Amino acid sequence: MGGRTTISVGSDGVAIITIINPPVNSLSFDGAKGKFCGGFDLNAISGLQESKAKVTGLASKPGYASIRALSDTMETSRKPSVAAIDGPAIGGGLEVAMVCNARIATSSAQLGLPELQLGIIPGVGGTQRLPQLVGLAKALEMLLTSKPVHGEEAHKLGLVDDIVSGDELLEKARQRALDILAHRKPWVSSLYRTDKIKPLGEALAILSFARAQARRQTPNLQHPQVCIDVIEEGVILGPRAGLLKEYEAFQVLLKSDTCKSLLHVYFAQCATTKVPGVTDLGLKPRQIKKVAIIGGGLTGSRIAMALILNGYQVVLKEVNQKFLDAGFSRVNAILTSRVKKGNLTREKFEKTISRLKGVLDYESFKDVDLVIEAVIENVSLKQQIFADLEKYCSPNCIFASNTSTIDLNLIGEKTKSHDRIIGTHFFSAAHVMPLLEIVRTSKTSPQTVVDLLDVGKKIRTIPVVVKNCTGFAVNRMFFPYTQSALLLVERGANIYKIDRAITKFGMPMGPFRLCDLVGFGVAVAIGSQFVLNFPERTYKSMLIPIMQEDKRAGETTQKGFYLYNDKCKASPDREIKKYIEKAREISGISVEPKFGKLSDKDIIEMVFFPVVDEACRVYAEGVAVKAADLDIAGVMGMGFPPYRGGIMFWGDSVGSKYIYERLSEWSKMYGKFFKPCDYLAQRAALGAPLSSPLDEAKSRL
Ligand SMILES: NC(=O)c1ccc[n+]([C@@H]2O[C@H](COP(=O)([O-])OP(=O)(O)OC[C@H]3O[C@@H](n4cnc5c(N)ncnc54)[C@H](O)[C@@H]3O)[C@@H](O)[C@H]2O)c1
Ligand SMILES: *[C@@H]1O[C@H](CO)[C@@H](O)[C@H](O)[C@H]1NC(C)=O
Ligand SMILES: *[C@@H]1O[C@H](CO)[C@@H](O)[C@H](O)[C@H]1NC(C)=O
Ligand SMILES: *[C@@H]1O[C@H](CO)[C@@H](O)[C@H](O)[C@H]1NC(C)=O
Ligand SMILES: CC(=O)N[C@H]1CO[C@H](CO)[C@@H](O)[C@@H]1O
């Protein structure tokens, strides 16, 4: 487990064990530093997945070891143990805390078992002890959602025995240990408690309800079912049987593809802020306190909100009072709805909104640290704004633009500030979607990138640094997603069958449902950029424009590929046929019966292999520095299922050779849209994975 453990015995005979293992105290007690334990070291978990040879002795049997060390030795010891919890007691940390005979926590403590998020189950008794402490239904909820609870709630649930302030935590825990020893407080062994478990019949009903719900919500995942099985074992055959089954299941899940993919995503997500040649120069992010946003439209007001919610002072600039008011009411509306939903206290609301100031000129830009421009796409307007900024702002101020179509160098043409100009591409609703593409030019300074990475993290996005290309990383990789689907439909595939196959694969929605959501106007605007820039490999279908002519433009018109009722519920539409026939006529393509009979597997491959190919191009062009960054971009920006590890990782799990062969075959039959790129051809010929850590290392030199 690593880290350092200290033990000190006080005059009262109570031993204080402190394990120091920063930054999250992977499995540690740290009263002094105010952290309990962030769980098992995930690096150790991925180590366990690798060759068996590396793992020896007890470490290879953490389950048995834990049963011996924790259950047989600690839990049944004649010396009581008490967990003193401040900060996170997550995963393995909570499991150890539950072995203790009592838990004392502060109200800011966080307790949870998030293992399922990583494709595994708790491996040190968590599946058996949590239900005994909080009851079956609540334990299932905590495990299946992976959501932690705060100190107060944990206290109400019975997961902790007492809430105290941080100052008195250690003293109260010490006192509790003495009280237990003197029988002034009950001596509880969590594992053998039974008072919270319902009679067998009722318990089994709760379990089968949870099982059905998990099957519905995560149909592609095995491990939630396994978790329920393991809990059930304990309920029926007793906690010892449950512990053994947990241990065995944990070993199997650890080696599953789901776990490998989810761990990859976990590490890749942490690593997006490591950019070779930028973040390894010893630069520290400069402090950014005040941010100006130019343009209070949809985009600008969303960005403003993300910033004020996370403590930044924001100046919002508009052209006139009317537009400024409109921008303010947009921010106000979303924040107010959060207050109504109970997600934001009145007090926090007042504090948040007070950070926002509206202006109509540049007077207050003197002490601004960062400006984000979000006005309409108009080159001369943006050039003028950037020239003005150079005049009014301090020489260290960063100038960011929300543009995606206008060259950043062109925007800065009339300035001498190229090193502090950068692009920020927020994903649609900046307050919901967690991805931020940070676009650097060849002239952007490393310091500017480091500063933006820091802002990105502070406003709770996952920042990914990219170089400019049409569509940046996400839209570029995924343009074939819609185009391939359109190609299939023109040749005879069914729209709804495609969407169903894609959602079964794990995407939040299929390509047609997505077009409806985004709106045909935006979809065409984005699509046409690719048609313009990559004419040789884009598929230009007339289906969407034809539907637009008939005032079908997606959800906003209540009609697109689906029909929508007042609650935005989508249902298929028979009328679609006539538009498809028209589109076919224009493109001169005839129906091929086999397209009507495509299997789900065929659909997945024909829609996603071109996406993998485009991701390879993006990677080979150096738009992203790491293949793993593209994985994160797809997972966070498009909702690609994390349990498949991201687009490049998934491509590797399928195999570069197979993907290359299929694409080559289709390109002969259906045209250049499917033609694989040189990079994919090389990797396939070598039988090598798509990502090449070696090349990534070289690019650092
Ligand atoms: N919001 C989206 O969903 C979306 C989608 C695609 C592209 N974009 C891009 O985002 C940017 C803004 O889009 P939007 O939808 O927010 O547009 P919008 O029209 O809603 O907002 C632009 C705002 O900028 C203001 N503005 C114009 N000139 C200004 C100036 N000199 N000083 C201060 N304010 C000025 C306008 O009054 C307007 O309110 C554009 O680059 C656009 O292409 C946004
Ligand atoms: C708001 O709170 C509800 C329930 O309290 C929760 O389900 C939801 O995820 C929260 N939304 C946000 C954006 O925090
Ligand atoms: C672009 O902005 C310039 C300068 O503000 C303005 O004169 C021009 O009319 C705008 N062009 C369009 C197409 O809106
Ligand atoms: C990015 O590159 C494309 C194509 O090379 C170009 O048209 C566009 O203006 C550039 N955008 C930015 C933001 O630099
Ligand atoms: C053109 C561009 O980059 N626009 C983005 C600006 O940010 C909003 C989110 O607030 C995105 O929806 C736009 O795509």
Both 56 and 200 in a single domain?
A: yes
Average pLDDT over residues 158-166: 96
Q: Write phi, then psi, for 554 (nearest 5 degrees).
A: 110, -160
Query: Coil, helix or strand for 385?
Result: helix
Query: What amino acid occupies position 269?
Result: Q
- Cα–Cα distance between 539 and 527 in angstroms, integer? 10
Tokens 């909104």 correspond to: 353
User: Does the beta carbon of 403 lie inside 6 Å of ligand 1?
Assistant: yes
Flag whether pLDDT at 41 surpasses 70.
no
User: Does the beta carbon of 468 lie inside 6 Å of ligand 4?
Assistant: yes
C-alpha 343 – ligand 2 centre gap (Å): 6
3-state secondary structure 261-316: HHHHHHHHHHHCCCCCCCCCCCCCCCCCCEEEEECCCHHHHHHHHHHHHCCCEEEE
Flag whether pLDDT at 51 surpasses 50.
no
Both 422 and 554 in a single domain?
A: no
Both 38 and 140 in a single domain?
A: yes
- Ligand 5 pocket test, pick from 428, 431, 435 with the greatest ligand atom count within 8 Å of Cβ, gives 428
For the whole model, what pTM was predicted? Answer: 0.87
Q: What is the pLDDT of residue 44?
A: 59
Flag whether pLDDT at 26 surpasses 60.
no
Q: Is residue 120 part of a domain?
A: yes
Identify the residue whose C-alpha is closest to ligand 3 atom 14.
378
- Cα–Cα distance between 79 and 16 in angstroms, integer? 13
User: Does the beta carbon of 341 lie inside 6 Å of ligand 2?
Assistant: yes
Q: What is the pLDDT of residue 700?
A: 44
Query: Coil, helix or strand for 401?
Result: strand
Atom of ligand 5 nearest to the CA of 401: 3
Atom of ligand 3 nearest to the CA of 378: 1
Q: Which residues line ligand 5 (CB under 6 A)?
A: 299, 302-303, 402-404, 425-426, 428, 430
Both 94 and 57 in a single domain?
A: yes
Q: Read off the CATH number of the domain in which 500 is found.
A: 1.10.1040.50
Query: Coil, helix or strand for 22?
Result: coil
DSSP-assigned beta bridge partners for residue 462: 435
Both 357 and 412 in a single domain?
A: yes
Identify the residue whose C-alpha is closest to ligand 4 atom 12.
407
Q: Does the annotation mark 115 as catalytic?
A: yes
Both 430 and 481 in a single domain?
A: no
DSSP-assigned beta bridge partners for residue 554: 559
Of 427-431, 603-607, 664-668, where does mean pLDDT reach its minimum?
A: 427-431
Parallel, antiparallel or unpaired: strands 4-9 and 15-20: antiparallel
Flag whether pLDDT at 60 surpasses 60.
no
User: Does the beta carbon of 337 lie inside 6 Å of ligand 2?
Assistant: no
Q: Is residue 280 part of a domain?
A: no
Q: What is the pLDDT of residue 37?
A: 58
For the chain, how many structural domains are there in total? 3
C-alpha 406 – ligand 4 centre gap (Å): 6
Q: Does the annotation mark 95 as catalytic?
A: yes
Parallel, antiparallel or unpaired: strands 110-112 and 88-90: parallel
Q: What is the pLDDT of residues 94-143, one digit of tens each?
A: 998 999 999 999 999 999 999 999 999 999 899 999 999 999 999 999 99
Q: Which residues line ligand 3 (CB under 6 A)?
A: 378, 380-381, 384
Q: What is the pLDDT of residue 160?
A: 96
Atom of ligand 5 nearest to the CA of 402: 3
DSSP-assigned beta bridge partners for residue 572: 562
Helix (H) or strand (E) holding 437: strand 435-440
Among candidate residues 75, 95, 318, 605, the one labeled active-site is 95
Q: Given 236, 255, 274, which residue is the final one in a domain? A: 255
pLDDT class for 202, splitting at 50, 70, 90? very high
Flag whether pLDDT at 436 surpasses 80.
yes
Residue 399 near residue 420 (C-beta atoms within 8 A): yes
Q: Given 468, 490, 509, which residue is the final one in a domain? A: 468
Parallel, antiparallel or unpaired: strands 290-294 and 313-317: parallel
Both 653 and 513 in a single domain?
A: yes
Identify the residue whose C-alpha is closest to ligand 3 atom 3.
381
Q: Is residue 510 part of a domain?
A: yes
User: Does the beta carbon of 379 lie inside 6 Å of ligand 4?
Assistant: no
User: Does the beta carbon of 58 lie inside 6 Å of ligand 1?
Assistant: no
Identify the residue whose C-alpha is closest to ligand 2 atom 12.
343
Q: Given 434, 468, 502, which residue is the final one in a domain? A: 468
Q: What is the pLDDT of residue 682?
A: 95
Q: Is residue 281 part of a domain?
A: no
C-alpha 300 – ligand 3 centre gap (Å): 19
User: Does the beta carbon of 340 lie inside 6 Å of ligand 2?
Assistant: no
Both 240 and 297 in a single domain?
A: no
Choose from 17-21, 72-76, 111-115, 414-418 the range with maximum mean pLDDT.
111-115
- Ligand 3 pocket test, pick from 294, 375, 380 with the greatest ligand atom count within 8 Å of Cβ, gives 380
Flag whether pLDDT at 88 surpasses 90.
no
Q: Is residue 692 part of a domain?
A: yes
Q: Is residue 538 part of a domain?
A: yes
Both 358 and 242 in a single domain?
A: no
- Ligand 1 pocket test, pick from 298, 381, 384 with the greatest ligand atom count within 8 Å of Cβ, gives 298
Q: Read off the CATH number of the domain in which 415 is found.
A: 3.40.50.720
Q: Is residue 511 part of a domain?
A: yes
Q: Read off the CATH number of the domain in which 36 is found.
A: 3.90.226.10
Atom of ligand 2 nearest to the CA of 432: 13
Quote the domain boundaries for residue 383: 290-468
Mutual orientation of helices 257-271 and 647-654 as an angle, nearest 10°? 150
Among candidate residues 50, 75, 115, 373, the one labeled active-site is 115
Atom of ligand 5 nearest to the CA of 303: 10
pLDDT over 90 for what percent of the chain? Answer: 76
Residue 331 near residue 356 (C-beta atoms within 8 A): yes
- Cα–Cα distance between 96 and 92 in angstroms, integer? 6
The CA dihedral of 391, 393, 396, 397, to the nearest 10 degrees, is -120
Q: Which of 48, 46, 49 is nearest to 59 (CA)?
A: 48
Both 633 and 692 in a single domain?
A: yes
Both 443 and 487 in a single domain?
A: no
Q: What is the pLDDT of residues 582-636, one digit of tens each?
A: 999 998 988 999 999 999 999 999 999 999 999 999 999 999 999 999 999 999 9
Both 588 and 620 in a single domain?
A: yes
Q: Is residue 186 part of a domain?
A: yes
